[in-house]
A and B are shown apart, each in its own frame.
Chain A
Amino acid sequence: DIQMTQSPSSVSASVGDRVTITCRASQGIGSWLVWYQQKPGKAPKLLIYTASSLQSGVPSRFSGSGSGTDFTLTITSLQAEDFATYYCQQANSFPLTFGGGTKVEMK
């Protein structure tokens, strides 16, 4: 199975900050990497698919990059509504696997 490792597990940031979250796959997954945002008590929300494609309706301050085993989610100019937990997920092959999550907290 493909293991997904996210870092950091949490990050403290302020509105306006640039935030970068990384995700590493235990083996190459091409560009089959997805990013989600989850707020407390809510279902996850799809942000990015195929590593860098922005889901419709997602603000352009979110971007994704990477291929193979190393991927990055970047939030430029963090907004108040962006405080949440972010998960990566490999979509290359069954069993699908998620990273452990990164909580973006207010500094």
Chain B
Amino acid sequence: EVQLVESGGGLVQPGRSLRLSCAASGFTFDDYAMHWVRQAPGKGLEWVSGISWNSGSIGYADSVKGRFTISRDNAKNSLYLQMNSLRPGDTALYYCAKEPNARSGIDSWGQGTLVTVSS
């Protein structure tokens, strides 16, 4: 069974940093692209960032480009999101997500970790 468990969320002041982690299990992690998707309270889904299986292809939403960095450690079956210069607009539930095949969407999601940016 695929399991994605996020951690690292919390309350942080504007301008500060936070690092999210996602521990993956139940599948061959280094076979799949992975993504971070967020959802602000009461709002829709927003793709944040994605990374190919070998880190050779990485993308970011315009809203986080230059502030967030995605990475993965295939030896540790882990996905990360380094978030710098956080803004109140970054407040959201952050999901770690797995892409089953290229350009075929996301078939597995974690339970999410809540990031709240507020003074």
* Interface set of A (CB-CB < 8 Å, partner B): 1, 32, 34, 36, 38, 43-44, 46, 49-50, 55, 85, 87, 89, 91-92, 94-101
Contacts and interface: CB of A to CB of B under 8 A. Distances in A.
B29 interface: no
Dominant secondary structure of chain B at its interface with chain A: loop
Contact of A43 (B47, B60, B62, B112): B112
Dominant secondary structure of chain A at its interface with chain B: loop
Nearest to A33: B105
B11 interface: no
Most chain A beta-carbon contacts within 10 A, residue among B46, B57, B104: B104
A64 to B, nearest CB: 11
B104 A98 contact: no
A98 B47 CA distance: 7
**How big is the B interface, by class?**
20 to 34
B61 A95 contact: yes
Contacts of B105: 34, 36, 46, 49, 89, 91
A83 B81 CA distance: 33
A85 B39 CA distance: 13
Contact of B46 (A34, A55, A85, A98): A98
